Amino acid sequence: MNVLIYLVPMALALGLTGLASFLWSLKSDQYQDMDGAALRVLDNDDVALDG
């Protein structure tokens, strides 16, 4: 059971990382325009096909 000594903190740290990244994405307004984000990815402007 000694394995728990590092597995448990690791599991918690991973979970907290997930929580922190979700809170970060919330803070940076990534959920403000869910439909728009889905469509913007189709935009070819950054490939400069038609300038």
Partner 1 sequence: MTETLDLSMFVRRHEGTAHMDLAVEGVGCAGCIRKIEGGLKRLPGVVEARLNFTNRRLAVDWREEELAASDVIAALKDIGYHAHPFEPERAEAEEARHMRWLVKCLAVAGFAAMNIMLLSVSVWSGNAGDMGQETRDFFHWLSALIALPAAAYAGQPFFQSALHAIRARALNMDVPISLGVITALGMSLVETASHAEHAYFDSATMLLFFLLCGRALDHAMRRKTRAVAGNLAALKAEFAHRFDGAELVRVPTVALRVGDRLLVRPGDRVPADGVVLSGISEVDESLVTGETARRAIAAGTNVHAGSVNFSGTLTMRVTAAGTGTLIDEVERLLEKAVTAKSRYVRLADRAARLYAPVVHATAAMTVVGWLAAGASVHDSIVTAIAVLIITCPCALALAIPAVQVVASGALFRAGVILNSGDAIERLSEIDTVIFDKTGTLTLPEPRVDNAASIEPGILEKAARLALSSRHPLATAVAREALERVPFDGAIEEPGEGVRAMIDGLEARLGSPAFCGADAAWDRGDGPGASMIAFSHAGRAVTLVVRQKLRPDAVETAAALRARGLNLIVLSGDRPEAVAPVAVSLGITDWRGGLNPAEKIAAIDALKAQGRRVLMVGDGLNDAPALAAAHVSLSPISAADITQAHADAVFLGERLAPVRDAIALACQARRLMQQNLWLAVIYNAVAVPVAIAGFATPLIAAAAMSGSSILVTLNALRARLSSKQQLVSDAAAVSDQFATESVS
Round to whole Å and give the CA distance between 45 and 35. Answer: 18
State which of residues 40, 47, 48, 49 lies at the interface with partner 1 (CB under 8 A): 40
Backbone angles phi, psi at 29, to 5 degrees: 60, 30
Question: Hunting for tokens 């990534």 — which residue is that?
Answer: 30
Nearest approach, Cβ of 6 to partner 1 (angstroms)? 14
Number of residues that bind partner 1 (CB under 8 A): 23
The residues binding partner 1 (CB under 8 A) are 1, 4, 8, 11-12, 15-16, 18-19, 22-23, 26, 31-36, 39-40, 42-43, 45
